[in-house]
């Protein structure tokens, strides 16, 4: 990992591709300190939940464990990439998660106060998944053995207490009324894959294998190539309020990338076929023809249910395109460039726009209405940085010829190789 002197600006590796340079500049020079309260005034749980349009932190009075886990990933990955100061920020975030994020039973909870008091002790599968994912990346950066110890304890507790009565998968939360949801299983699969890759431990591989079987046998419709959001007690898709089964193209792209990565890790060719089917349905039915952006939701027949446009489905499309380019050849990179351009144009450089006359440099519009010209949100969710970072780091990994589980540097060894870029918050 490149170590930069205090106050130095990282020198991005030069590229002939403007879109790659935009992505690298974002990853290298984003002001990661903004994700945490400043050291002098920081509470025990310093992670910022949201910002206003100018980039000023907004305090809702709680800290979600899922956001702490996401930002631990972001900061650990940035530290691996050579972003200045990210390692110390990751350390502070890891300390908060490991010290305050667990209940009396050792499992991760749902919400904390800024002071570290447990506000909601619910064992929520989504929060647990992101805590595990964050720990995986903290271990990758730091080799801190406690990360794997806590991850092992969490998975052991999960398997003992939250298994579905159906015999497949897990319930989404305990105690109280629970449901079968695909989304937390997807992120648990993600965490298990990376814990396996970084630690080599059988416990995490067994969990990943189990979740792949769930996706293959229960979550994905083999005929239509669609992935429902919610299922009944017997893992049959459940219709939403509109009387239609909800299919989110963004989640189809996200699963497509994950299944491709699982195929690489496990050698399971079935995962590749499943990945391609999910991608094909989403690319054929989930794209707004006017803007080229990804719809919120469609039905299994491919008709739009919700035409509004979030940033994260487009970053997941970008990840899926990277996976295809890696598998099928660099001819796919033109599509990657187009998606990068749309993400910047509509979400990262979109102001002025109706509802937001000024967007702080380096921040993002999270949600647009269907015409792609009006806001559908009133603040900047800090949690979205996970999606941006993951997609952009995958683009750089492909461009820099790093392996599927490498966390390579984004920067050159000296500042002489390229002209320094200004901070994204200058």
Question: Angle at the Cα of 234 (from 230 to 235), degrees rounded to 5?
Answer: 35
Q: How far apart are CA 309 and CA 292, in angstroms?
A: 10
Q: How far is CA 104 from CA 23, 51, 156, 219, in A?
A: 42, 32, 15, 33
pLDDT, tens only, 44-73: 999 999 999 989 999 999 999 999 999 999
Is pTM, for the whole model, over 0.95? no
To 10 degrees, the CA torsion angle through 115, 106, 133, 2? 70
- C-alpha to C-alpha distances, 311 to 288, 295, 371, 378, 399, nearest whole angstrom: 13, 10, 14, 14, 22
At 244, give phi and psi (nearest 5°): -120, 150
Nearest of 305, 309, 340 to residue 322 by alpha carbon: 340
Q: Are 31 and 362 in contact (CB under 8 A)?
A: yes
Residues 6+ apart with CB under 8 A from 108: 65, 101, 102, 123, 127, 128, 131, 154
Provide the β-strand partners of residue 47. 36
Q: What is the pLDDT of residue 413?
A: 52
What is the structure's pLDDT at 423? Answer: 35
- Pairwise CA distance, residues 250 & 252, whole Å: 5
- N- to C-terminal Cα separation, the chain: 25
Q: Which residue has the tokens 């008709």?
A: 303
Residue 375: the pLDDT is: 86
**H/E run at residue 261:** helix 249-266
| 19 closest CA partner among 359, 327, 341 | 341
If you ran DSSP here, which 8-state letter would residue 348 be given? I
Whether 191 contacts 133, CB under 8 Å = yes
- Length of the chain measured in residues: 426
CB 84 within 8 A of CB 10: yes
Fold of the 18-399 domain:
Glycosyltransferase (1.50.10)
Q: Spell out the per-residue pLDDT of the chain, length 426, in tens.
A: 222 223 333 444 555 589 999 999 999 999 999 999 877 678 999 999 999 998 999 999 999 999 999 999 999 999 999 999 999 999 999 999 999 999 999 999 999 999 999 999 999 999 999 999 999 999 999 999 999 999 999 999 999 999 999 999 999 999 999 999 999 999 999 999 999 999 999 999 999 999 999 999 999 999 999 999 999 999 999 998 889 999 999 999 999 999 999 999 999 999 999 999 999 999 999 999 999 999 999 999 999 999 999 999 999 999 999 999 998 876 667 899 999 999 999 999 866 676 677 788 889 999 999 988 888 899 999 999 999 999 999 999 999 999 999 999 999 754 333 333 333 343
Cα dihedral 369/190/273/169 (nearest 10): -100
């Amino acid at each position: 990992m490149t170590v930069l002197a205090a106050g130095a600006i990282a020198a991005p590796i030069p590229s002939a591709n403007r879109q790659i340079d935009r992505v690298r500049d974002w990853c290298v020079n984003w002001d990661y300190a903004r994700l945490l309260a400043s050291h002098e005034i920081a509470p025990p749980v310093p992670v910022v939940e949201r910002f206003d349009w100018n980039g000023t932190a907004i305090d809702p009075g709680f800290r979600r464990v899922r956001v702490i886990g996401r930002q631990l990933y972001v900061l650990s990955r940035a530290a691996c990439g050579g972003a200045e100061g990210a390692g110390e920020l990751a350390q502070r975030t890891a300390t908060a998660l490991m010290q305050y994020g667990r209940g009396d039973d050792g499992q991760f909870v749902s919400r904390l106060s800024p002071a570290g008091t447990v506000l909601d002790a619910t064992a929520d599968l989504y929060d647990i998944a992101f805590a595990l994912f964050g720990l995986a990346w903290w271990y990758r950066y730091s080799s801190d053995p406690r990360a794997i110890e806590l991850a092992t304890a969490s998975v052991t507790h999960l398997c003992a207490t939250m298994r579905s009565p159906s015999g497949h998968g897990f319930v989404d939360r305990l105690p109280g009324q629970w449901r079968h949801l695909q989304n937390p299983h997807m992120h648990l699969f993600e965490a298990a894959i990376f814990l396996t890759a970084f630690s080599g431990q059988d416990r995490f591989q067994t969990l990943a294998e189990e979740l792949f079987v769930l996706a293959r046998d229960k979550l994905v419709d083999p005929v239509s190539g669609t992935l429902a959001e919610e299922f009944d007690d017997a893992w049959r898709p459940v219709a939403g309020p509109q009387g239609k089964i909800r299919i989110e193209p963004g989640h189809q792209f996200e699963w497509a990338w994950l299944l491709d990565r699982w195929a690489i890790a496990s050698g399971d060719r079935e995962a590749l076929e499943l990945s391609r089917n999910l991608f094909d349905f989403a690319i054929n039915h989930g794209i707004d023809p006017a803007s080229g952006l990804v719809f919120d939701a469609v039905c299994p027949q491919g008709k739009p249910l919700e035409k509004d446009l979030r940033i994260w489905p487009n970053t997941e499309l970008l990840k899926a395109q990277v996976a295809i380019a890696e598998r099928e050849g660099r001819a796919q990179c033109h599509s990657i460039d187009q998606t990068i351009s749309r993400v910047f144009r509509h979400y990262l450089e979109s102001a002025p726009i109706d509802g937001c006359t000024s967007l702080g440099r380096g921040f993002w519009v999270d949600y647009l209405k269907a015409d792609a010209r009006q806001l559908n949100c009133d603040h900047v969710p800090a949690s979205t940085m996970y999606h941006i970072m993951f997609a952009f780091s995958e683009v750089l990994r492909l461009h820099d010829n790093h392996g599927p589980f490498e966390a390579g540097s984004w920067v050159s060894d000296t500042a002489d190789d390229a002209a320094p870029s200004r901070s994204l918050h200058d």
